[in-house]
């Protein structure tokens, strides 16, 4: 569902239903030049692709504001290629394709929580915690005496993601991984 809103009422984080798709307001600025009418300069982030665009609108121009339903859900298991999630308040289950999850599928393990944003019964975004704990399943052993500061080696974690970790990390260790960048943070 979309409701009409004025460009004068824009707020950071607001979601707009534009002809090009769903966009979140990242930044906006009201400009009143000496001559001519006032206008609003905006930076908008596409909810599906993450691309940021800049748009300028007349002051008090009407735009459609999208009402996004955000639900806390728990990842239960994989059913073939699909990911099965359960709404933690209603216990309803939904199945999501990996293409809908995007990079979030690299960090999900059974029992993890995620916030699923839906608009008109289709999933538009999946938000994970800033960092998750994952177990290293495979990595080369660190060579004794090879302690170059900041040296890294590839490691595979339980979700199948391959990332660079410090030389001292061994298989079976739990590490914290940043879900925004996919980088190693620290031992868990």
**Token pair in block for residue 16:** 């707009």
pLDDT in tens, 133-147: 888 888 887 666 556
Per-residue model confidence as pLDDT tens digits over 147-160: 666 778 888 888 88
Inter-residue contact 106 to 183 (CB < 8 Å): no
Q: What is the CATH number of the domain that holds 118?
A: 2.40.50.140
The single residue listed with the structure tokens 């599928």 is: 105
β-pairing, 69-79 vs 62-66, is unpaired
Both 53 and 94 in one domain: the answer is no
- Final residue of a structural domain among 127, 151, 168: 127
Spatial CB neighbours of 4, under 8 Å, sequence gap ≥ 6: 62, 63, 64, 65
CA-nearest of 122, 140, 101, 10 to 63 is 10
Tokens of 54: 């800049």
Same domain, yes or no: 6 and 60: yes
Average pLDDT, the chain: 85
pLDDT band for 1, please (50, 70, 90 cuts).
low
The residue to which tokens 């009407």 are assigned:
62
CB 120 within 8 A of CB 68: no
pTM for the model stands at 0.70
Q: Quick one: 73 and 61 in the same domain?
A: no
Give the chain's domain count: 3
Return d(Cα 12, Cα 43) in angstroms, integer: 10
Tokens of 115: 């916030």
pLDDT of res. 54: 92
Q: Which domain holds residue 99?
A: 69-127
What's the pLDDT tens digit per position in 42-80? Answer: 999 888 777 899 999 988 889 888 888 888 899 898 888
Same domain, 73 and 122: yes
Q: What is the pLDDT of residues 22-41, one digit of tens each?
A: 888 999 999 888 888 889 99
- Please say which residue of 101, 127, 153 terminates a domain: 127
Residue 80, phi then psi, degrees to nearest 5 = 70, -120
pLDDT per residue as tens digits for the range 100-122: 887 888 888 888 888 888 888 78
Kindly state whether residues 122 and 78 are assigned to the same domain. yes
| 8 and 62 both lie in a single domain | yes
Domain end among 48, 66, 84: 66
Q: What share of the chain has pLDDT > 70, as a percent?
A: 94
């Amino acid at each position: 569902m979309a409701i009409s809103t004025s460009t004068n009422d824009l707020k950071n984080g607001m979601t707009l239903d534009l002809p090009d798709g769903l966009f979140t307001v990242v930044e906006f600025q009201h400009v009143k030049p000496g001559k001519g009418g006032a206008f609003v300069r905006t930076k908008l982030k596409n909810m599906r692709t993450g691309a940021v665009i800049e748009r300028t609108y007349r002051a008090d121009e009407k735009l459609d504001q999208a009402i996004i339903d955000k639900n806390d859900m728990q990842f239960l298991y994989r059913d073939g290629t699909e990911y099965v999630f359960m709404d933690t308040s209603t216990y309803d289950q939904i199945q999501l394709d990996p293409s809908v999850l995007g990079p979030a599928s690299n960090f999900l393990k059974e029992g993890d929580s995620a916030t699923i944003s839906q608009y008109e019964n289709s999933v538009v975004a999946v938000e994970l915690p800033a960092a998750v704990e994952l177990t290293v399943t495979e990595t080369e052993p660190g060579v004794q005496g090879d302690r170059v500061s900041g040296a890294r080696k590839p490691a595979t974690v339980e979700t199948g993601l391959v990332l660079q970790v410090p030389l001292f990390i061994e298989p079976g260790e739990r590490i914290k991984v940043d879900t925004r960048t996919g980088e190693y943070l620290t031992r868990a």
